[in-house]
Structure 1
């Protein structure tokens, strides 16, 4: 049966933890509206207890969106949860996201708490939150470095206290797809309520595996993916949601999963985040980078001219990008050069290219990109040589 995958966007909370990024309340509202158009199921609008501005932002987003569920983040503390209650009061659809670290290094070095104390904190905070929210999400922070049996105990405690969503956080990007599969296998075997609960994942990209780990989780029982647009976030960032969405679309034969994401809005929301965060998208970035649909190699250009599917598994139109481009450079072949010349008004054939292409190659050796003006100069030189 085809799985329905929820998308949980934390661009406004975890994404804003990117060094140098500071969205205004107005920008957060604009982003939230665009995320709603893109089709995300949940927007994590901020950490309300962190500051008055964060509280105001969560409140403003709660009032602005109509279909998407809004959540605030809360430590396993009554005061944090109270701030979420107040900030999301006007949301048409809301939940709360409660977390506490469960790994040995976090328990001992950061929290200075025993296992029993952590379990008690989970029970008390989730029980309290459940009085005010129908949907309570609980995250064992640093879950992928937590002892498997204690992770099960923490999750079962949260479920019995009223949690309806369990988020497995790979907080420092430590795991890999094989280990993540094993983690989910252990949960499936030992958490009795596994099939009755929404399992989510929140993967960081410290080792470059956030998207791969997120996709592996879908294969192993997760039905919600958390991440950010353009993969922004703390340190090396979060799973790039646009990449997860594109992978589910292109490889629907493999994942047998669908979502509410409107892929055609992808480039628009990516550009908005890039602009507001003042973070240019790398040219080679998957799905939304400037070079994602550009081909310079002669072999690739020849294939593209014959059939675009030879080198494109995703069309630019499907993600709202402009169009495929075949920039001409020193690696371009005569087929692409001839096609470009014909496009700009020159009637040339393969015989003509025997004279034109050597001149093109000499020009291309000195230019990173051969422009239309360069091509016109080349054609002038060809004419001069003929006369």
Structure 2
């Protein structure tokens, strides 16, 4: 007997909000950095400004209502209650589209694209491009249950997503993802090929092989330089979460400033903001909405454990599903078409965009929507 699908809405208690305000008020601040840039980590002046606003200006009740404007549900899959958005389309022939976020993101990343994707007619688009969007929260993230046992890596999540789509009655669907969502989406295409008809990724893992290095284009050299910079200066968070997530979580779960700094450092370095800081692209409220989805459910440990489960075991095997790739210029990994074609055997669409970084749907919703539409439209075309 399939588990029930129950409606859900976000509601933080007054006690939770009062405790957050008290913890913010009592923050014990570290010394400021000794350099004029972010090379020692997120800068204190910016963190102080963000957290003062969080304490004194951020209106969670208004933001909560904004998040609750989209239909949300929970249902038990493989022993966990999975939280998900399920946004219908007014178009009768809309295609089901499963969208998966990553770390340090959440379903908040997709809020600006839900309207255009589900109702293109109302947003100046072609109604033939309409999608019915299903957007689950990863296990241990947001308002999905936290795993109570090991084994909840990318493959098991993909199995849960396949079960979720079957429960919703979708015999044919498309899937989209970035960051961990890219890994889960790729695994889903392999696990459920009879139902998952194709995928769109905005962070594709397709590194060069040895023979590629003999002759590199300027763009490929730049991509390798970015990857080298990531390895040397940006990847410590992943190593920590992959090896000792529990140790890290004590500080992040106890301190809202600690949790915010751990997340917002990545928005500072991974958003395509031209050196002006993430607030040049995302509002302070938007940044804090995402932080709240880690703070309220105390998800520091449970979200980090996905790295412990899967970070050291990335799947780099060929992908046979029809695939569309959008390469955003501020992304951490930017494969060239020739690298991508080697791994994605049925590459239907490949495009390098003009703007955008790691949080593509959040940063550049118009470009992201265009890419999803174009990529999946190309996928539907006869080959």
Q: Same fold (TM over 0.5)?
A: no
Larger radius of gyration: 1
* TM-score using structure 2 length: 0.28
Q: Higher relative contact order by CA 8 Å / sep ≥ 6: 1 or 2?
A: 2
* TM-score using structure 1 length: 0.28
